[in-house]
Structure 1
Amino acid sequence: MSDFDFIHSGRRTIDIEQQAVGALRERIDERFTRACEVLLGVPGRVIVTGMGKSGHIGKKIAATLASTGTPAFFVHPGEASHGDLGMITRGDAVIAISYSGNSDEIITLLPLIKRLGIPIISMTGRAQSPLAEEAEVNLDISVATEACPLALAPTASTTATLVTGDALAIALLEARGFTAEDFAFSHPGGTLGRKLLLRAEDIMHRGAAIPRVAEGASLSQALLEMTQKGFGMTTIVDEAEHLLGIYTDGDLRRSIDRGADLIGARIGDLMNRTPKTIDAHTLAAEALKIMEDKKITALIVLDEQKRPNGVVHMHDILRAGII
């Protein structure tokens, strides 16, 4: 076993990076405001670029911007000099990240970007660097020290860069009035996306899968329909297919408790005439809440003429990953 104090080393790193992040707060000033105004004002996309570790952080910043209402993507500065510069067009803005402010690959691109009339926002640790001086706005990401004891591996500085990028993304999100539903459209595969986008019509059972019997059907006929369709209930409809009521497994138990004539009774005499229903545009998450509140496992979906055109079962919602 090593005698090295891993706990002290880990805590020292966190302390240094915490101090670096704390120092950023006072730098959220008029330069930050100007950077946000530039990004809000461009009709195109935000292009993020950076080399090495700055590039890795830049990819995350671009992804955060894109998912919070600011169209953005990352362009590698080395690849930009070999054709990818064509991805940058008039109407875009560039966020260029370089702690030294002197990355050759980025400096090479500056005259070309300027020629297109594209505003540049730099994120550097040196305000007097070539990149900072060429930028319309420079955001200061300097740190007192890196967590790396050799002062070689970027650690506190990359954390400061990431936090500054997050601050930009969230300020833009709030300024745009970006909503949870807007976020869902950028994340259709995520849980939030499914909650805000998936509707009853996307998961409901249709057509012949809907259990239905006539008002004059016997209880045994209704029970057979319930068994065959497997939803633990059946709809009761009139000749025009309008919904009259519903009969469920729970209703059967209540019929037995009341001593109902289970042999001769018509289902129309036993049915629940005020079932809970939804329309096809109801969010699946809302349907789930109704089921939980009412302690039921299925909902009837009605069309505009009050005819059953679907059934949503709790299992369908669970399979869709709503919770």
Structure 2
Amino acid sequence: MSEFDFIASAQRTISMERDAVDSLLARLDQHFSRACQTLLDCKARIVVTGMGKSGHIGRKMAATLASTGSPAFFVHPGEASHGDMGMITREDVVIALSNSGNTAELVTLLPLIKRLGVPMISITGNPDSTLARAAVANLHTGVEMEACPLNLAPTSSTTTALVMGDALAIAMLEARGFSAEDFAFSHPGGALGRRLLLLVDDIMHAGERMPMVTPDTRLRDALLEMTRKGLGLTGVADESGSLIGIFTDGDLRRTLDHSVDIHSASIASVMTPRAKTVAQGALAAEALKVMEDAKINGLFVVDDAGKPVGALNMHDLLRAGVV
């Protein structure tokens, strides 16, 4: 038996699914706008339903909608006929997925959905199907041929349905003005939650733990301050308490290269002026970006008046799981 060309098979599949997704662009019309407005007007939840592979896509769609500001959940159409229909209220909106548009389990629910007066959006591969005709808006996701060479296994059709669902979710996200902070409240666990919810105030070294000296402090004493506070840096503040500079471990190496006398030199003569800062109340992820962009390992947190209220370094961000 000759060796099978796996790469060629994968390339054909990807090309077919890519072309199927490209075809959706020309189908975005008033039906998509109507579907979006219907979802935006929904006073309760978005109920997504579908059988088989469409059901798997529907579960993902419901999860994406819910995590981007549009409360949604999935109901299996078979279970809906045996009690779960009670999960749907008159204030909801239904999204029904079916490639044929004539799936029996979904068609069975149509009279019940109509009696409740619940608007239904259909995502089908057949715009003339039973579901499409019953919907307030039908999103046509049909494909000429599945990526499956037998044209049997749902492949290209499930991909187009998945992409259309993402298009709906992102349109809703943008229309609602959904922010990164809103997203974080739906994802409080793990690194994502930490990056989007943790503030610099939560991890900064404040009060007596913040390394700070005055401009006339001798370099030797500034080094002692750095050692005591353990951040690898110290700030330099003037009489009004405003931050006028910073001195770091890197500055120390450069200072020693110039044979500066650490016992007599003042910190003002060797500090780096105009230190990088981040505003109090900023996300820890913002502090990380400032550090990465400037290629530094620490910075100060300042209040609205520009006065330092805390300091943090890369190790603090690592311990907090932001990095």
Structure 1, 32-41 or 268-277: larger mean CA deviation: 268-277
Q: CA deviation at 1:231?
A: 1.4
**Superposed, which structure 2 residues align to 1:249-288 within 5 Å?**
249-250=249-250, 252=252, 262-263=262-263, 275-288=275-288
The answer for the alignment partner of 1:50 in structure 2 is 50
Q: Is the partner of 2:49 in helix, strand or coil?
A: strand
Gaps of 5+ in 1: none
Q: Is the partner of 1:281 in helix, strand or coil?
A: coil
* Percent of paired sites with the same residue: 61
The answer for the alignment partner of 2:59 in structure 1 is 59
Q: 1:65 to 1:240 in 2, by over 3 A?
A: same
Q: Is the partner of 2:312 in helix, strand or coil?
A: strand
Show CA shifts across 1:132-177 (max 9, x none). 3332223333333333344432222222322322333333344444
Structure 2: distance between partners of 1:211 and 1:227 = 9
Structure 2: distance between partners of 1:127 and 1:52 = 20
Structure 2: distance between partners of 1:176 and 1:316 = 34
Q: 1:105 to 1:312 in 2, by over 3 A?
A: same
Q: Aligned partner of 1:71: which letter? A: P
**Superposed, which structure 2 residues align to 1:1-323 within 5 Å?**
2-179=2-179, 182-188=182-188, 197-212=197-212, 219-235=219-235, 246-250=246-250, 252=252, 262-263=262-263, 275-292=275-292, 296-303=296-303, 308-322=308-322
Q: CA deviation at 1:120?
A: 0.7
Structure 2: distance between partners of 1:307 and 1:22 = 53
Q: CA deviation at 1:29?
A: 2.3
Q: 1:311 to 1:2 in 2, by over 3 A?
A: same
Is the CA contact (8 Å cut-off) linking 2:231 and 2:312 kept in structure 1?
no
Q: CA deviation at 1:246?
A: 4.9
Structure 2: distance between partners of 1:12 and 1:277 = 51
Q: Is the partner of 1:148 in helix, strand or coil?
A: coil
> May I ask how many residue pairs the two structures share in their alignment?
323
When normalised by structure 1's length, the TM-score is 0.78
Is the CA contact (8 Å cut-off) linking 2:16 and 2:156 kept in structure 1?
yes
Q: CA deviation at 1:118?
A: 1.0
Q: Aligned partner of 1:121: which letter? A: I
When normalised by structure 2's length, the TM-score is 0.78
Structure 1: distance between partners of 2:218 and 2:16 = 77
**Structure with the greater alpha carbon radius of gyration:** 1
Structure 1, 122-131 or 299-308: larger mean CA deviation: 299-308
Structure 2: distance between partners of 1:236 and 1:141 = 62
Gaps of 5+ in 2: none
Kindly report the root-mean-square deviation, in angstroms, between the aligned alpha carbons of the 2 structures.
3.8
Is the CA contact (8 Å cut-off) linking 2:58 and 2:97 kept in structure 1?
yes
Q: 1:83 to 1:310 in 2, by over 3 A?
A: farther
Structure 1: distance between partners of 2:151 and 2:256 = 80
